Every structure is written in C-alpha cells, then in structure tokens.
C-alpha cells in the first residue's frame, strides 16, 4: 500500500546518492491466505492501493491541478471500464482464462485501470471535499 515506496522516496530525498538494487537470485517465499485469492478481496485491495497512490502521487505531477486531474481520471475510468467489459465478454482467451474470475485476477486493466482508478478518484474527491468544507474561523471585527 505504498509503505516501502514512501520510505524509499524519503531516503532518496535525504540521500540523493543512495541507490536501490535488486538481485535476480533473490527469492521471497510467502504464504497467501485463501481469502486473499478471492475476487472480492482483489477488488478491495486494488481500491485501497488506488487510494494510497493518491497520497503518494506528488501534486506537482498532477496535470492542471487536482480538479482537472480528477476529471481526467474519471474519463479514464469510464474508458477502462468499457474496454474491460468488451475484453471480458468478447476477446478473452478462454483457453488461458477459462473462467471470468481467472481473467479478472490476471487483468492489469481491471485491477489498476478500474479498481485502482476508482480508489484514486474516491480519495481525490474526499480530500477535495474535506478541504473545501473545512471550517475556517471567522475574523473578528475590532
């Protein structure tokens, strides 16, 4: 959910000469709980990743400010959803993904482009609304 990314961003900022490397001989073995292999969990997890991504995305990289960026991502969400529906129903390789669940689990467009984008948009709207309606004390006339 971005913890490692955020930590590395802080390290790179504090120590510009720091480099992170990976070794192809490195293996990570971990067990996955059965509930994490369900489509419902995948959807919830990717929405949560999208929400975290909103806070990890530097505001300076957002195109044309937050409002326009949210509108642009909403259009992207609609486009990705239509594409995903088309691929799920008509273009899915049924030998590789015999069941719809197989396809949804493997589909980057579904996980990132639909679920992740939905989480990002949710956080964008909630953050914008909370900023807009934050109570500001009135100035006292003297």
Q: What angle do CA 38, 78, 60 make, to 5 degrees?
A: 95
**Radius of gyration in angstroms for the set of CA atoms belonging to the chain, rounded to a whole number:** 20
Q: Provide mean pLDDT across the span 63-67.
A: 69
- Rounded to 5 degrees, φ, ψ at 30 are -150, 145
pLDDT at 78: 94
pLDDT at 137: 58
Residue with tokens 């390789």: 93
Q: Say how many Å lie between the first and final Cα of the chain, rounded.
A: 49
Per-residue confidence band for 114, with pLDDT thresholds at 50, 70 and 90: very high
SS3 readout for the chain: CCHHHHHHHHHHHHCCCCCCCCCCCCCCCCCCCHHHHCHHHHHHHHHHHHHHHHHHCCHHHCCCHHHHHHHHHHHHHHHHHHHHHHHHHHHCCCCCCCCHHHHHHHCHHHHHHHHHHHHHHHHHHHHHHHHHCCCCCCCCCC
Q: Which residue has the higher pLDDT, 142 or 117?
A: 117
Q: Which residue has the higher pLDDT, 91 or 58?
A: 91
The number of residues in the chain equals 142
Residue range 36-56, pLDDT digits in tens:
888 999 999 999 999 998 888
pLDDT at 135: 60
pLDDT at 48: 95
Biggest distance spanned by C-alpha atoms of the chain: 77
């Amino acid at each position: 959910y971005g913890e490692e990314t955020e930590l590395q961003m802080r390290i790179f900022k504090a120590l510009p000469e720091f480099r992170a490397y990976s070794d192809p001989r490195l293996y990570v073995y971990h067990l996955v709980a059965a509930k994490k292999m369900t489509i419902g969990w995948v959807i919830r997890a990717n929405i949560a990743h999208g929400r975290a991504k909103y806070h990890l995305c530097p505001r300076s990289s957002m195109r044309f400010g937050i409002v326009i960026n949210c509108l642009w991502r909403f259009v992207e969400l609609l486009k990705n959803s239509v594409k995903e529906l088309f691929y799920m129903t008509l273009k899915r390789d049924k030998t590789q993904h015999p069941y719809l669940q197989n396809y949804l689990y493997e589909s980057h467009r579904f996980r990132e482009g639909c679920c992740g984008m939905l989480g990002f948009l949710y956080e964008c709207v909630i953050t914008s609304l909370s900023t807009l309606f934050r109570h500001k004390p009135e100035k006292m006339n003297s």
